[in-house]
């Protein structure tokens, strides 16, 4: 039974779970059950990439892992990690409703499950649940706002991103240690615009540790980036729209950052990016140049 709990199979079958809960009239016994369910929503479980685990092979020997078996049992087959976790949080919502309706004496026993989903940030994949936890667990959501923010960016749900944005005073904190998240946002202009509207500073400089060769030895140096420079360096077509947004929301076209070359640091500006002969920045150069000329007039 414990194995079923830990892999999240049992919570997908509310009828079976309801029969089990009928036997757990004792709150202490119920607490053990819900603590096991809570582990399914932990950061550790998220890192195991459940989506890949459950749909890894149609020919799996385990009947619970078979796509055909899951389909026959009425389980939705997710196509993405985002869809997988949205479904899991929807199941948690349904479990919450069932307990409040049929097991009122156990309604607080589900709190550890919600708190785990908040702590790991996976609650962000379902907007209804996201709004619920901000209302009912203000202390926990405040503590875990970093994980919530990262997962809500991954969810690609614009309404959820806007909702979480209202609860963040300084977005820069969450980008300061995650260059890849900046690139992810730049790859989605709609997400970028929601964040800019919510107060993201387009001129914040972010420093990232990098091993650099200085004075004949390797040292830990700090190289800097801005949203605008990373956007100009990005080869994806979507970053063209992101460039237009950054300029629209006040990105400074002359804001330089520190980089290293041949053991020495130097200032690297947006203009320098566009002068790089290794890349074709023709369209970005045109947008950038026209914007600069317009601002000078």
Q: How far apart are CA 177 and CA 132, in angstroms?
A: 29
Packed helices 189-197 and 179-186: angle between N→C axes, nearest 10 degrees:
110
Q: How far apart are CA 281 and CA 243, in angstroms?
A: 12
**Please, which pLDDT band fits residue 49 given cuts at 50, 70 and 90?**
low
Residue 250: which region, alpha, beta or left (left: phi > 0; alpha: psi -120 to 50)? left
DSSP string, 266-297: EEE-HHHHHT-TTS--HHHHHHHHHHHHHHH-
- Report pLDDT digits (tens) over 165-193: 888 877 777 787 688 889 889 989 999 99
Residues 198, 162 contacting (CB under 8 angstroms): yes
Q: Around Cβ 218, how many Cβ atoms within 10 Å?
A: 9
Give 222's strand partners: 209
The predicted pLDDT at position 106 comes to 83
Residues 194, 204 contacting (CB under 8 angstroms): no
Residues 187, 238 contacting (CB under 8 angstroms): yes
The predicted pLDDT at position 69 comes to 40
Residues 41, 113 contacting (CB under 8 angstroms): yes
Collapsing DSSP to helix, strand or coil, 255 comes out as coil
Between 295 and 257, residue with greater pLDDT? 257
Q: How far apart are CA 205 and CA 135, in angstroms?
A: 33
**Please, which pLDDT band fits residue 8 given cuts at 50, 70 and 90?**
low
Between the alpha carbon of residue 205 and those of residues 129, 182, 208, 225, the distances in Å are 34, 12, 10, 6
- Report pLDDT digits (tens) over 256-284: 999 888 778 899 999 998 887 776 677 88
The predicted pLDDT at position 13 comes to 62
pTM: 0.75
The predicted pLDDT at position 269 comes to 94
Element (H, E) at 153: helix 145-155
When the pLDDT of each residue in the chain is averaged and rounded to a whole number, the result is: 81
Give the residue among 243, 252, 165 at the shortest CA–CA distance from 204: 252
The predicted pLDDT at position 229 comes to 94
Give 213's strand partners: 218
Longest dimension (CA), the chain: 76
């Amino acid at each position: 039974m414990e194995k079923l709990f830990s892999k999240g199979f049992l919570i997908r079958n509310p009828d079976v779970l309801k029969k089990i809960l009928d036997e757990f009239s004792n709150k202490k016994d119920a607490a053990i059950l819900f603590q096991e369910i809570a582990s399914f929503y932990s950061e550790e479980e998220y890192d195991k990439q459940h989506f890949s685990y459950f749909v890894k092979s149609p020919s799996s020997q385990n009947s619970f892992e078979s796509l055909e078996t899951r389909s026959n049992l009425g389980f939705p087959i997710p196509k993405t990690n985002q869809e997988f976790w949205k479904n899991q949080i929807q199941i948690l919502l349904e479990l919450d409703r069932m307990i409040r309706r049929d097991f009122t004496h156990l309604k607080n026993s589900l709190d550890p499950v919600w708190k785990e989903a908040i702590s790991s940030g996976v609650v962000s994949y379902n907007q209804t649940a996201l709004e619920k936890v901000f209302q009912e667990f203000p202390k926990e959501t405040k503590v875990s706002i970093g994980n919530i923010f990262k997962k809500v960016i991954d969810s690609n749900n614009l309404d959820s991103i806007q909702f979480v944005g209202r609860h963040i005073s300084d977005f820069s904190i969450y980008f300061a240690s995650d260059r890849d998240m900046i690139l992810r946002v730049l790859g989605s202009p709609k997400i970028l615009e929601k964040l800019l509207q919510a107060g993201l500073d387009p001129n914040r400089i972010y420093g990232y540790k990098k091993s650099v060769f200085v004075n004949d030895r390797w040292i830990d140096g700090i190289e800097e980036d801005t949203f605008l420079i990373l956007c100009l360096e990005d080869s994806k077509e979507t970053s063209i729209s992101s460039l237009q947004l950054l300029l629209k929301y006040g990105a400074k076209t002359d804001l330089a950052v520190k980089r290293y070359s041949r053991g020495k640091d130097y200032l690297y500006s947006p203009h320098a990016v566009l002068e790089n002969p290794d890349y074709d920045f023709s369209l970005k150069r045109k947008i950038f140049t026209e914007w600069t000329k317009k601002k000078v007039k």
